[in-house]
Amino acid sequence: MAYILLGAVNIIAVYFCVRYLLQRKALRDAAQELHEITEDLELNRVVKLSSPHKDLEIFLAEVNRNLSATQKARILYENKEKELQKQIEDISHDLRTPLTAMLGFINMIDRESLSGEDRESLQVIEKKAQTLKKLITEFYDLSRLAADDYKLELKQIEFGRKVREMALEYYTELKNRKLDVKLDIPDIPVFVRGDDDALERILSNLLQNAARYAYSTFHIQLKAEGERAIVLLENDTEYLSPEEGASLFKRFYTADSSRSQGSTGLGLSIARYLAEKMDGELYAEVTEPGPVRWLKIYLKLPRR
């Protein structure tokens, strides 16, 4: 009798042990499945138990209900983004058409026949029209980048030469600000994998930013570290705090409206999006090592 009782106890123990192990495996499988779903909500999947358990099935039913609501919200958000992008595209086209015509008529005016005052007024009108054209273009490009509808042609580019060319293009503007400009570019080629137009646009926006906020010194340094090429742009500044430095790449952000010089607040945000589309990074920090604040902007790009 004792042997029968002991055997029964062993069977029950084995049963509960197996059941416990199966439930643990079911939880691990469910957790892995949930992780995969949350990593990519486009999968449109639900979490299932590999081993039946009444209480866990009730819990997972609630998890799946929330997943379904999240997936529906994602689809609704994507549809609204596409609708907004189409509206921006239509508005940009509607604005650019008459603006292009207006700029064409301005260029046709015989400036030599105008008085000095009228010539100055025409220059102001043309400058404002060009600023509006830039704003429309940047707003449209930013919407395309945010919607991942901006295609790049990635290839190997000698980045040191590109940095030198862009710095030379803006050298006069930087010198007119009486800045002490320093370039530290290695003699050996530093290649990155990127899009030529995107790199040019990023560097252009960063150099414009330097011309806007640098106080007396502007320094560009390029170096290769492992799988990344790093451009560090440094300048002293009177106008940016550490908090403002962290906000430079936010949409429509202008740190000092009195020095914005027609800035739309979109250029640096576009530059960051372009860097990220090339698997790179672009960020800024403001440090206060002493009485002078320094703005440091880091552009990191893959070398292959």
Domain count, the chain: 3
Mean pLDDT computed over 223-247:
84
Same domain, 125 and 234: no
Range of the structural domain that residue 92 is part of: 76-146
Interatomic CA distance for residues 50 and 27, integer angstroms = 9
What does the DSSP 8-state code read for residue 199? H
Place of tokens 């059941």: 19
Closest CA to 210 of 127, 284, 135, 289: 284
Out of 105, 122, 146, a domain closes at: 146
Same domain, 204 and 134: no
Q: Would you state the pLDDT for residue 113?
A: 84
Same domain, 124 and 255: no
Out of 27, 60, 75, a domain closes at: 75
Token pair for 105: 């008529």
Helix (H, G, I), strand (E, B), or coil: what is residue 232?
strand
Same domain, 163 and 279: yes
Same domain, 187 and 267: yes
Closest CA to 52 of 25, 90, 89, 72: 25
Tens of pLDDT, residues 65-88? 777 777 778 778 778 777 777 777
Task: Enumerate the H helices of 109-192 as residue ranges.
Answer: 116-146, 159-169, 171-176
Q: What is the CATH number of the domain that holds 87?
A: 1.10.287.130
Tens of pLDDT, residues 86-119? 777 777 778 788 888 888 888 888 888 888 888 8
What does the DSSP 8-state code read for residue 151? -
Same domain, 93 and 216: no
Task: Give the C-alpha distances (Å, rounded to integers) separating 248 from 32, 138, 167, 204, 240.
Answer: 38, 16, 21, 15, 9
Interatomic CA distance for residues 43 and 39, integer angstroms = 9
Residue 252 CA neighbour count, 13 Å, CB half:
3
Token pair for 221: 């340094």
Tens of pLDDT, residues 167-204? 999 988 888 888 898 999 998 999 999 999 999 999 99
Backbone angles phi, psi at 290, to 5 degrees: -160, -145
Q: Quick check: 164 and 231 in contact, CB under 8 A?
A: no
When pLDDT is cut at 50, 70 and 90, the band that residue 259 belongs to is very low
Q: Pairing state of beta strands 281-287 and 217-225? A: unpaired
Selected residue with higher pLDDT from 150 and 216: 216
Same domain, 276 and 210: yes
Closest CA to 135 of 193, 192, 90, 96: 96
Q: What is the CATH number of the domain that holds 283?
A: 3.30.565.10
pLDDT at residue 149 greater than cutoff 90: no
Q: Would you state the pLDDT for residue 279?
A: 93
Same domain, 68 and 9: yes
Overall size of the chain counted in residues: 304
pLDDT at residue 30 greater than cutoff 70: no
Same domain, 45 and 62: yes
pLDDT at residue 48 greater than cutoff 80: no
Same domain, 53 and 178: no
CB burial of 293-302 (b: ≥16 within 10 Å; e: otherwise) equals bbbebebbbe
Same domain, 83 and 58: no
Out of 33, 52, 75, a domain closes at: 75
Same domain, 91 and 48: no
